[in-house]
Structure 1
Amino acid sequence: MSLPTIDISPFLNPSSTAASRKQTAQAINTACTQYGFFYLTNHGIPTATQDHIISLARSFFALPLSQKLQIKRHDAGGPEGGDGARGYQPMGDNVTAGRRDMHEAVDWYREWDHAAKTEGSGGKGTSAPLQGTNLWPSEPTDLKDVYEEYVKQVLTVGEAVVRAMGVAIALLCNGEGEVDDEVFVKSTDMSFWVMRMIGYPKLSSSVAPSESGSTAADMENEFSCGEHTDYGCITLLLTDPTPGALQVLHKDGQTWINADPIPGAFVVNIGDMMERWTNGLWKSTKHRVIHRGDGYRVSVPFFYEPNFDAVVEPLGACVRKSGREPVHQGSTYGEHLLGKVLSNFY
């Protein structure tokens, strides 16, 4: 069993036919309904660029811990000027379902440019949650420039995907009332995106029993990243070639599918906000990372999110199509995200 593959080029090429766009949209609906995950091809970002992104991430994680800690994430309102979200997370700091994940990461967000900044709880010179500035490492020296250019490229891909999803949901809900097929594009035109750079050591050697008191049984229950759904809109995952690490839960609720990387392709999944918009017609899918293969695994997921002030609520046509009561009364994406940040993303 494998995830479907979708060619997004009809939504990037202005001269594409209506028939090709419809075919892509229908394929997206099938993928989102049956899996919540798919591979994305012909997105326009060269494989060489993707390889460079992964190589720079690997170089950063190979640095001494003391150097990585120079851009450590700090709580909002503190004297360090942190905003509770941006910066480096050491190994084991991330917690999923009450268990420490065995990975390290760096988080970057869209700069706070949609509204005036407010003073943090610590007073003048401190940052409110999410309102800080991105922290970039001094090494590799070209990482900041390369990653910022990559953000521009992947934003274009994200826009194409949500445009296709809008067409897909309009086709799915045909007869249930008018659906604006640009609804997702309009709600993400100032996407409050997130980009993570994640490093995963091999689990079987990441914690030594002599250091932690772990038993062999404990080691088998370790996770590189525990079972979860993504809380935003869509995720475009770029990862190194390591197989057997990312696992996706099938809709049967029992079968785990390996989402092994395909060279040049993104692994795309829908998040909780897309489930909310579609009133559960498309459900965000649980997934996890268990890296027991060789080497140090690196991935760079890009989370294409709604605008900070976008109201995310079930679309009327989706409510009627689903035959269920609205799954949520609606809120802004910013309210949802702040709730995650302030609870350490639980």
Structure 2
Amino acid sequence: MAFPVIDLNQFPDPEGYKRLREASEQWGCFRLVNHKIPLSLMSEMKKVVRSLLDLPTEIKKNNTDVIYGSGYVAPSKVNPLNEGLGLCYLGSSETVHTFCSQLGASSYQREVIEKYAEAVYEQMMDLGDKLAQSFELQSDFLKEWLCQFRFNKYNFTSESVGSPGLELHTDSGFLTILQDDESVGGLEVMDRQSGALVPVDPCPGTFVVNVGDTAKAWSNGRLCNGRHRVQCKEGSVRVSIAFLLLGPKEEAVEAPLEFVDSEHPRLYVPFTYEEFRMIRLSKHLRDGDALELVRIKS
């Protein structure tokens, strides 16, 4: 089966909603084309992010956590080639300004990040709405959910070719919109049917969307939390920009009644996103297995 592509020009045709639902159920990830974000803005954002990731480590360490694990992440034993910066985005410019102040970003860099944040947030809300509509549900609740940026740098060299850049994992949140590196590959996603890892080659001007653990719980198991990883395929630095729709700020994640009936009993206990995220971190379960710890025992 070919890696699915979702063309936003197909909406509101019913076929578009069908393709989106099937890709989210069968793969848990897909390529997004004909989106609303200007290509020029994507290009400028990539330059700004690369310049911030190239800052000295002592400056990057000023990017401190808002929630645990949301700030600068240095290379580790598990992911020695990967480092990243983080930004909790709450739909306002305030958090962007705080992030930029931590790193001493210029007024131009701040402006680009703010424009990109507004654009990708709007795209995320639109995509979340379409996903909910594909199940004939409303999605107004998504506007109150937590969001986060992760800016990733993979320090690939010719000596590291064949090594892992980021371990196999699922995303903990609801949806992730990823601006992948337009020239340096390495992203691989798991085919749910065969278990094979499928390369997702660079495709400039598009996004890759991942469905996360929270979405699988919200859908009562209907949606697939897509497993993916990054491998070093060439000796060039790789940069990606991920925007994550995480979960409710305070309310519990719980499957709507439309997903629950006598043939599909409720699978997961209600949980807050923060509770679930801490389970993943404390148990070191980042491959989707953390959901088993919130599963209702039969």
Normalized against structure 1, the TM-score is what? 0.73
Cα gap change, 1:57 to 1:307, in 2 (>3 Å): same
Tell me, yes or no, if the aligned pair for 1:227 and 1:287 is still in contact at 8 Å. yes
Tell whether 2:264 aligns with 1:298.
no
Structure 1 residue 72: deviation in Å?
Answer: 4.4
**What is the Cα deviation at residue 192 of structure 1?**
0.6
In structure 1, give the amino acid aligned to 2:6: I
Matches within 5 A, 1:169-208: 169-170=135-136, 181-182=137-138, 185-202=139-156, 204-205=158-159
Q: Which moved more, 1:151-160 or 1:60-69?
A: 60-69
Residues 158, 235 of structure 2: 8 Å contact kept: no
**CA contact 1:235–1:268 (8 Å) conserved in 2:** yes
Give 1:61 shift: 2.4
| Alignment pair present for 1:90 and 2:56 | no
Residue of structure 1 equivalent to 2:277: 337
Is this contact kept in 2: 1:25–1:165, CA < 8 A?
yes
Q: Note the C-alpha offset of 1:226.
A: 0.3
**What percent identity do the matched residue pairs reach?**
24
Structure 1 residue 330, shift from structure 2 partner:
1.1
1:325 lines up with 2:265 in the alignment: yes
Q: Deviations over 1:112-171 (max 9, x none)?
A: 99xxxxxxxxxxxxxxxxxxx64641146533331122111111111111111111123x
Conserved? CA contact 1:33–1:282, under 8 Å = yes
SS in 1 for 2:210: strand
Secondary structure at the aligned position of 1:283 is classed as coil
SS at match of 1:105: strand
- Separation in structure 2 between the aligned mates of residue 9 and residue 252 of structure 1, nearest angstrom: 28
Q: CA RMSD of the aligned region, Å?
A: 2.8
Residue 279 of structure 1, aligned match among 217, 220, 226: 220
Match of 1:144 in 2: 110
For 2:80 and 2:24, locate their aligned partners in 1 and report how far apart those are by CA, in whole Å.
27
How much does 1:87 deviate? 2.5
Q: Distance in 1 between matches of 2:254 and 2:37?
A: 32
| Inter-CA distance 267–343: structure 2 relative to 1 (3 Å threshold) | same
Structure 1 residues without counterparts, runs of 5 or longer: 12-17, 75-81, 114-132, 171-180, 207-218
Q: Which amino acid in 2 is paired with 1:263?
A: P
Alignment of 1:179-258 (within 5 A): 181-182=137-138, 185-202=139-156, 204-205=158-159, 222-258=163-199
Q: Secondary structure at 1:281's aligned position in 2?
A: coil
Q: Name 1:25's counterpart in structure 2.
A: 17
CA gap of 1:248–1:328, structure 2 versus 1, over 3 A, is: same
Bigger Cα Rg: 1
Name stretches of at least 5 consecutive residues in structure 2 with no aligned partner.
Answer: 93-97, 287-298
Distance 1:343 1:109 in 2: 23
1:28: Cα distance to partner? 0.3
For the pair 1:35 / 2:17, whether they are aligned, the reply is no
Question: Could you tell me which residue of structure 1 aligns to residue 8 of structure 2?
Answer: 8
TM-score, structure 2 as length reference: 0.83
* Structure-2 separation of matches of 1:154 and 1:138: 23
Number of residue equivalences: 281
Counterpart code for 2:19: A
Cα separation, 2, equivalents of 1:344 and 1:73? 21
Partner of 1:66: 58
1:285-332 CA-partner distances (Å, limit 9, x unpaired)? 1110012313100000100233312321123332338x3432201122
* Contact residue 84 and residue 341 of structure 1 kept, 8 A: no
Give CA-to-partner distance per residue, 1:263-288, whole Å, 9 cap, x none: 21110111111111111111101110
Distance 1:192 1:30 in 2: 26
